[in-house]
Amino acid sequence: VEFACGIPNLLKTDFTDNIGGGIDNWNLRQPLGVVAGITPFNFPVMVPMWMFPVALACGNTFVLKPSERDPSPSLLIADLLKQAGLPDGVFNVVQGDKVAVDALLAHPDVQALSFVGSTPIAEYIYTEGTKHGKRVQALGGAKNHLVVMPDADLDQAVDALVGAAYGSAGERCMAISVAVAVGDVADRLVPRLAERAATLKIRNGMEDDAEMGPLVTAAHKAKVEGYIAKGVAEGAKLVTDGRGHKVDGHENGFFVGGTLFDNVKPDMTIYKEEIFGPVLSVVRVHDFAEAVDLINRHEFGNGVSCYTSDGGIARAFARQIQVGMVGINVPIPVPMAWHSFGGWKRSLFGDHHAYGEEGVRFYTRYKSVMQRWPDSIAKGAEFTMPVAK
């Protein structure tokens, strides 16, 4: 919101005086009109805030279609905006499932759509939206890696991995789901991760000391446990098994404990696919070059991190890695509001990242104006009363 409040400065463009024959050339950005945002269940306030503040500040009206799994926060946002004085019809909420989504994709008044969710749905939104002539930014899935170099501060790396892999029960697109252990660091890393994963405080998420809560639905719990079984079947070493975790007083809750695999290979399902749960896979590689190659070959390119004390390695990593958001000794490199959020490869469909200056470009059209004024307009003008003309 603070970033969007600076929109007068962000909308400033260029002016070239007298390019020839009294002609000036200047540019401006104009709003698209009606734009829409389709958002996921996991951050029902934060993700819409990536979209509508910039969209509204640029002069558009906004339609929010939240996840049907948690519709209430969107209504709270709408109520707060109304209390703040936003006119009716400027910010709108449409509840529903795929029927509502398809209606937005096809409606001729909707000029652009933003989406955050899984890659299959992101690809569908992008394909259908562009087919109907709309501008689309569709942020999809991820398989975020964290590289641990032999010279890394292991205390920091372990803390980072535990928080990034198991925070929010792994149900976030910036979760770290693969630890890439370089050289002999794996033998020191895995036992410490196993100890931390086994002692996570898994509770009702409303309790003050909870470190991890339940998954979103029973169906998703079963899906995550299915991935764990698949990892075992394909030969990965299950170090810590989170299946069957029970929480006192919530025995029927959708809980999966922190799960850790070792000796995971690139051809295994748990490495290739986004699990969206508290499952961390350790992949062992020989050197830095192998780590970079491993990550660059993955179909997703959302976020990545490298823990090292070597500035040369850090510099090379930031430049060689084919991923949209990079952290150096930072586990979840989510950009600040004045930068922009978005991945590469099959983690993003469309040409624009979310929020920041990229968001301003997405929610506006660029126009060039060339103008010349006739000289006669000022000739014979009189500016003394009472004959000013």
Catalytic residues: 173
Q: How far does CA 13 lie from the centroid of its chain?
A: 28
CA-to-CA separations, 191 to 186, 262, 264, in angstroms, rounded:
9, 10, 16
Structure-block tokens of residue 96: 């529903």
User: What does the CA dihedral 193, 275, 263, 152 come to, rounded to 10 degrees?
Assistant: -40
Q: How many residues does the chain have?
A: 389
For 67, half-sphere exposure in the C-beta direction (CA atoms, 13 angstrom radius) is: 17
The Cα–Cα gap between 81 and 57 comes to: 13
What is d(CA 307, CA 319) in angstroms, rounded to the nearest whole number? 15
The structure tokens listed for 94 are: 């449409």
- Strand 176-182 and strand 237-240: pairing? unpaired
Instruction: Give me the numbers of helices (H) and strands (E) for the chain, helices first please.
Output: 12, 18
Quote the CA–CA distance of 370 and 362 in Å, as a whole number. 24
Per the CB < 8 A criterion, the answer to whether 144 and 304 are in contact is yes
What residues have CB less than 8 Å from 272, skipping those under 6 apart?
A: 143, 266, 298, 299
**Residue 262's beta-bridge partner residues?**
237
